[in-house]
């Protein structure tokens, strides 16, 4: 393509990075708008130390697009905790962002400086500079507070998601969304990454006003504690409802074959592979959302070792790139 293309990816560190990697083949400008309400182990401790929003997904995204390999390794380096058990698993990049926030007097400035140090090939923006938490009302009326509890296992389904205190979205993120040629939500944790980002004031309005197409990359599996029992259409419906009528243009939906051994491995971790039926696809189309159905699944391979998270069936970058390029065209 000859014209300049700007792609914005919204979500957590893993999903947004994968979308932007796919978009690198045709886009000249890449922007990640990243969740800030994580309260996990390393990120939660960094939040407490620095009094900041969650730095973990931002750190990972910066490292993924760092042009300086040493800085990328440093950002992702995790301490062993030898002698200081509280630091076991702490990512150095989380501490760096917390320190920069204190030195520079702001979280947004800290993230920008970390990205500059890494020579980041993408613009990485926190969805908000507000230090707040997500909360959920569960079926039956119980309330839970904090990302760890919102995604906790063995609880009733999530009925409603909200912020502990209302907070504005990052103005730079809103402007990027409104002016982008393509805005992509997901893949990633439906409630604690994607829908959490949409809770900040101005996000849904910016997506409704976006001049480019707004696309949701639907997850390939359910996620324990968040989407147990969900079908593909349930994922799309939740996002469409959060954005409002007519805002979501398309949903990229995986419909590939997954071998029995891999399905069994995923099921052992509570992740069930989503296989949308014709009726589900019709229900998605009835939401005025175009279903783009393909085999988006990554080739079979070895199981990855992740920090304190489940491995899942990821999207194939080349297949994702082809679909996003077609949506732009």
- pLDDT confidence bin for 311, thresholds 50/70/90: low
Percent of the chain at pLDDT exceeding 90? 83
Give, for 29, the enclosing helix (H) or strand (E).
strand 29-34
pLDDT in tens, 153-177: 999 999 999 999 999 999 999 999 9
**Predicted TM-score (pTM) of this structure:** 0.95
Does residue 13 contact residue 34 with C-beta atoms inside 8 Å? yes
Q: Distances from the Cα of 249 to the Cαs of 113, 254, 260, in angstroms?
A: 35, 17, 33
CA 186 to chain centroid, in Å, comes to 5
CA distance 75 to 116: 13
User: Above 80 in pLDDT, residue 70?
Assistant: yes
Q: For 6-35+167-328, which CATH class?
A: alpha beta
Coil, strand or helix at 183: strand
Which residue intervals of the chain bear CATH 3.40.50.10680?
6-35+167-328
pLDDT in tens, 238-297: 999 999 999 999 999 999 878 788 888 888 888 899 999 999 999 999 999 999 999 998
């Amino acid at each position: 393509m000859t014209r300049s293309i700007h792609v914005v990816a919204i979500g957590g560190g893993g999903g947004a990075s994968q979308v932007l990697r796919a978009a690198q083949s045709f886009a000249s400008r890449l922007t990640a708008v990243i969740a800030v309400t994580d309260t996990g182990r390393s990120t939660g401790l960094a939040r407490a130390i620095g009094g900041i929003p969650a730095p973990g997904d931002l750190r990972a995204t910066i490292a993924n697009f760092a042009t300086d390999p040493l800085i990328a390794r440093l950002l992702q380096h995790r301490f062993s905790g030898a002698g200081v058990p509280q630091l076991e698993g702490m990512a150095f990049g989380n501490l760096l962002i917390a320190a920069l926030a204190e030195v520079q007097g702001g979280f947004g400035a800290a993230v920008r400086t970390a990205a500059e140090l890494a020579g980041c090939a993408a613009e990485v923006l926190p969805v908000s500079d507000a230090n707040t938490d997500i909360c959920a009302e569960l079926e039956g009326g119980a309330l839970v507070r904090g990302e760890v509890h919102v995604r906790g296992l063995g609880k009733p389904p999530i009925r409603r998601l909200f912020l502990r205190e209302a907070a504005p979205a990052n103005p730079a993120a809103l402007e990027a969304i409104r002016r982008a040629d393509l805005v992509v939500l997901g893949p990633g944790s439906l409630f604690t990454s994607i829908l959490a980002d949409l809770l900040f004031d101005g996000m849904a309005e910016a997506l409704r006003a976006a001049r480019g197409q707004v696309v949701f990359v639907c997850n390939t599996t359910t996620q324990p504690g968040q989407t147990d029992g969900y079908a593909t259409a349930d994922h799309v419906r939740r996002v469409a409802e959060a954005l409002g009528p007519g805002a979501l243009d398309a949903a990229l939906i995986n419909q590939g074959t997954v071998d029995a051994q891999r399905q069994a491995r995923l099921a052992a971790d509570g992740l069930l592979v989503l296989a949308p039926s014709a009726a589900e696809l019709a229900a998605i189309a009835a939401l005025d959302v175009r279903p783009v159905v393909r085999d988006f699944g990554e080739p079979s391979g070895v199981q990855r070792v992740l920090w304190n998270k489940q491995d899942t069936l990821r999207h194939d970058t080349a297949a994702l790139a082809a679909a996003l390029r077609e949506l732009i065209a």
